[in-house]
């Protein structure tokens, strides 16, 4: 079968999952694993490896940081919008803009 090289752009989480699928299925490359997943999706067949959802074995701990003391910063770099969203939500909770407290019962305006 003739194969063609293409370029694929994936989210980091999908790439980690695909690498785990590659290792767990015994495929020689990510391309082989991706080709197998697409073939299974097209034909409706599933192999045992298609059910694996673990990413065990995909994490590499740097020898320079075995205690993971810089892990928090590294994870935050991967998800910059998440920390932005968290800061925004904290600001909204501290300063609720445009929120009007309801009048106590018996003191409501009639008009």
The model's pLDDT over 5-19, given as tens digits with 9 standing for 90+, comes to: 999 999 999 999 899
What mean pLDDT is predicted for residues 49-78? 76
Query: How high is the pLDDT of residue 39?
Result: 87
State how far the Cα of 34 lies from the Cα of 22, in Å rounded to an integer: 8
């Amino acid at each position: 079968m003739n194969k063609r090289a293409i370029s694929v752009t994936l989210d980091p989480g999908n790439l980690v999952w695909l690498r785990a699928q590659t290792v767990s299925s015994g495929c020689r490359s990510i391309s082989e694993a991706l080709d197998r997943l697409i073939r299974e999706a097209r034909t409706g067949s599933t192999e045992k490896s298609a059910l694996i959802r673990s990413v065990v074995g995909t994490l590499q701990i740097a020898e320079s940081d075995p205690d993971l003391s810089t892990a928090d910063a590294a994870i935050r770099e991967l998800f910059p919008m998440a920390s932005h969203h968290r800061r925004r939500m904290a600001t909204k909770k501290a300063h609720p803009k445009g929120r009007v407290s309801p009048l106590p019962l018996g003191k409501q305006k009639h008009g």
